[in-house]
Amino acid sequence: MLETLLAAARPWLAPAFTLWGAPVTWLEIVAFAVALAMVVANMRVHWVAWPLAIASSLMYALLFADAKLYGEAGLQFVFVAVALWGWWLWLRGTDEAGAPLVVHRLARGAWLKLLAATAAGWVGLALLLENATDSPVPWFDALPTAASITGQLLLARKCIENWPTWLGVNLVSVGLFAYKELWLTAVLYALFAVLSIVGWRAWQRRLAA
């Protein structure tokens, strides 16, 4: 199945240009632009971020599978599922009191539970990749994968803590994609790291308003 999809996408996986000695594909260029638009929409708390997230996730699933980053590739399908949920929440979701969902802080004590769940997910996924795939970097691949699920769930619930989570994910991902010579994607995640700080501040202003 995966090989069939990669074969069908092969024209889009053809190099468009070379960056720092490594080819940059047409698919990576389009995914870069869509993902950047998605983050800007997230910063503005606009629902259009979610369909953009679905589109970019599907493109990156193919790109990462082609690079044998199976954890990151599989994560994109989790992103698609969570994006559908988040899209609904941002349009129709309510808090525990039944009011429309707004930017808020995570409940006290929940952050430590999320950290523990993320750490357990990292170890479990790393062991799976190590034993069931030919991934050359199972632990490196699994860390941002597990933490990204946490970040996506926090984002869907409009918890401000999604932004520091994404900051950590993005910084680790820069190193991962640089190692795999996905240079444009590494640049994108460096931009994401900066935008994580900008988004964090923007949501803090919403809380203070």
The answer to whether the beta carbons of residues 170 and 192 sit under 8 Å apart is yes
Q: How far apart are CA 180 and CA 178, in angstroms?
A: 5
Give the Å distances, CA to CA, from 26 to 18, 33, 38, 67.
11, 11, 19, 15
Whole-structure pTM value: 0.83
- The pLDDT, as a whole number, for residue 96 is 76
The answer to whether the beta carbons of residues 38 and 52 sit under 8 Å apart is yes
Question: What residue ranges do the domains of the chain occupy?
Answer: 2-92+115-208
pLDDT in tens, 64-91: 887 777 777 887 888 899 999 999 999 9
Q: How far apart are CA 116 and CA 161, in angstroms?
A: 15
DSSP state of 108: T
- The pLDDT, as a whole number, for residue 5 is 59
Q: How far apart are CA 24 and CA 103, in angstroms?
A: 37
Residue 19 has pLDDT above 80, yes or no: no
Average pLDDT, the chain: 87
